Amino acid sequence: MIGGTGVEHSALIEQRVITVETPYGTVKPVIGKLANRELIFMSRHGHNHATPPHLVNYRANIWALRELGVRKVLATAAVGSLSPNFHLGGLVLPDQFLDFTKSRPQTFYEGGQQGVLHVDMSEPYCFAMRQAIQEASENLGFQVKNGACYVCTEGPRFETPAEIRMFQRLGGELVGMTSVPEVVLARELGMCYATIGMVTNEAAGIAGHPLSHSEVIQSMKELGLNVAQLIHATFELLTPDQDCLCASANLEVGKF
C-alpha cells in the first residue's frame, strides 16, 4: 500500500521498519499485518509530509516494493474535483490519466544496459483491482464511483482557474499531483496498481474560495475512517494471483 496525504499505517499490527537499497536511493517502508496478511506500507511523502509531490522518489519506492515481492499496489490519493459528478467527501477509482508533470523521471528503462520499454498504458489502473475495491465497498455499504480521468499536475502549487478550465475541456474529472509516474512505473515492473481517490476539495474556480492544504487535511480526517475500512475490506478480497494483463506489460524487455 502507498499512502498519500492523511493516510497512515496505524491500522497495521506487528509493525517493523526495514531499509531497502535500490539503484535510485534508499527507502524505509513499514511491514506489518492487515486482514491477516503481510502488508508493506510506503509513505509517499515521508515522515511529517516532508517531501512535496514533485520531489517524491517514485522510482525508488516502486523498485523497493517489487524487490520485496509485491505484485499488487493499492494507493490512496487526495484529489480535487473538476466535475459535478464528484463531490467533496466522495471516493473515486480513476481509470485513466492525463499527465501534466514536467520534471519527473518517467521510466526505469533509459537505454543502454537498461534497454528501452514503450509500456502499454491502455488500461493504466488495474481493472481487476478496481473490481475488488468496488466489491469491498458494496460489502460495506459505501458508495465508490468506479471510473474517472485523473489529471496529474507537477505541483506543489495548486492550479489556476484557467488551467482547471483547460483540464475540464480535455476530459479531466479529478486533479492531483502524485499518480504519475507512480502508476506508470508500477506497470513497467509488471505490478497491478489501483488508486482510491479521496475528493478533499473542489478545484480553483469551482470552490469559490482560496484553496489551502489545511482544507485538504481536514477533509482527509473526515474521510479517514471510511477509507481505513475500505482498505481493510479490499485486502480481505485480494488474492496473490494476477488475473489481468498487468504482469505481462514488460515482457518485451524480459527482465522480470
Would you say residue 213 has pLDDT above 70?
A: no
The answer to whether residues 170 and 186 touch, using CB atoms and an 8 Å cutoff, is no
Domains and CATH numbers, the chain: 74-248 (3.40.50.1580)
How do the residues of the chain divide into helix, strand and coil, expressed in percent and rounded to 5?
30, 25, 45
Buried b (16+ CB within 10 A) or exposed e, 161-193: eebbbebbeeebbbbbbbbbbbbbbbbbbbbbb
The answer to whether residues 162 and 66 touch, using CB atoms and an 8 Å cutoff, is no
Pick the more confident residue, 164 or 6.
164
Helix (H, G, I), strand (E, B) or coil at 3: strand
What percent of the chain stands above pLDDT 70? 87
Long-range contacts of 130-133 (CB under 8 A, 24+ apart): 130/93, 130/95, 130/194, 132/234, 132/237, 132/238, 133/74, 133/93, 133/194, 133/196, 133/230, 133/234
Least confident of 9-18, 22-31, 113-122, 224-233: 9-18
pLDDT for res 152: 98
pLDDT digits 0-9 by tens, 13-72: 888 999 999 999 999 999 999 878 899 999 988 776 789 999 999 999 999 999 999 999
φ, ψ for residue 122, nearest 5 deg: -60, -35
pLDDT digits 0-9 by tens, 129-138: 999 999 999 9
Least confident of 55-69, 84-98, 202-216, 220-234: 202-216
Name the pTM for this structure.
0.90
- Name residue, grid cell 476530459: 171
Q: List helix spans (H) across the chain.
A: 58-67, 127-140, 161-169, 179-188, 213-237
pLDDT for res 50: 80
- Name residue, grid cell 478533499: 200
CA proximity to 170, closest of 189, 151, 145, 184: 151
What percent of the chain stands above pLDDT 90? 66
Q: How far apart are CA 120 and CA 109, in angstroms?
A: 14
Least confident of 96-100, 180-184, 223-227: 223-227
What the block records as the C-alpha cell of 207 is: 470552490
Would you say residue 240 has pLDDT above 60?
A: yes
Q: Side chain identity at 175, as an amino acid letter?
A: V
